[in-house]
């Protein structure tokens, strides 16, 4: 039977890909933004990792895993926040191929990524603009 990839593999690929897209801006996994000292940065969280769903008479035909990761873009300047968001949208929306490749890490094959901009906001307590993106990966398994 085919099995889903390790969740750690998804996390490593997401971190590597985002770093490659927005470098030199720092990228954090589940970083608490209230302690950030940078004027701009990105954080991401992985969610909705689906377990294998087997179909067919012998239960061996597997479809596509569709994990979702959320990216939060933060910047003290609104223009920088929207520009960094645009970098991510341009690089990831519709992406197909090896995702998250880095020396010593082969990445994962992604059939397609859909990126949805959910909303933008401003947090007066930390003086940061924020844009929230949802990224759904279609990963054949």
In a domain, 2, yes or no: no
Distance, in Å, from the CA atom of 4 to the CA atom of 64, rounded to the nearest integer, reads 9
In a domain, 95, yes or no: yes
In a domain, 93, yes or no: yes
What pTM was estimated for this model as a whole?
0.87
> For all residues of the chain together, what is the average pLDDT?
87
Give the residue with greater pLDDT, 27 vs 51: 27
User: Stretch 99-127: mean pLDDT, rounded?
Assistant: 93
What is the four-CA torsion angle of 87, 73, 41, 68, rounded to 10 degrees?
-90
**What residues have CB less than 8 Å from 116, skipping those under 6 apart?**
133, 134, 135, 136
In a domain, 1, yes or no: no
User: Number of structural domains, the chain?
Assistant: 1
Q: What is the pLDDT of residues 52-93, one digit of tens each?
A: 566 666 656 567 788 899 999 999 999 999 999 999 999 999
pLDDT for position 124: 87
Domain of residue 53: give its range: 7-140
Give the residue with greater pLDDT, 36 vs 137: 137
Share of the chain above pLDDT 70, in %: 83
Q: Which two tokens stand for residue 140?
A: 């054949």
In a domain, 72, yes or no: yes
In a domain, 19, yes or no: yes
Evaluated on CA atoms 23, 25, 26, 32, the torsion sign reads negative
Give the residue with greater pLDDT, 48 vs 101: 101
Q: Length of the chain in residues, anyone? A: 141
Q: Using an 8 Å Cβ cutoff, are 100 and 82 in contact?
A: no
In a domain, 56, yes or no: yes
Helix, strand, coil share (%) of the chain residues, nearest 5: 25, 40, 35
- With a cut of 70, say whether residue 12 has pLDDT above it: yes
- With a cut of 90, say whether residue 95 has pLDDT above it: yes
The CATH code of the domain that includes 72 is: 3.30.70.1700
């Amino acid at each position: 039977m085919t099995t889903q990839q390790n969740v750690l593999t998804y996390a490593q690929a997401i971190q590597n890909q985002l770093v490659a897209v927005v470098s030199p801006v720092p990228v954090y996994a589940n970083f608490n933004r209230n302690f950030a000292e940078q004027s701009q940065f990105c954080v991401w969280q992985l969610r909705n990792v689906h377990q294998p769903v087997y179909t067919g008479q012998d239960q061996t035909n597997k479809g596509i895993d569709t994990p979702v990761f959320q990216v939060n873009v933060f910047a003290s300047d609104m223009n920088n926040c929207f520009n960094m968001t645009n970098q991510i949208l341009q690089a990831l929306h519709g992406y197909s191929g090896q995702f998250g490749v880095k020396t010593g890490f082969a990445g994962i094959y992604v059939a397609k990524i859909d990126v949805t901009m959910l909303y933008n906001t401003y947090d007066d307590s930390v003086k940061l603009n924020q844009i929230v993106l949802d990224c759904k990966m279609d990963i054949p398994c």
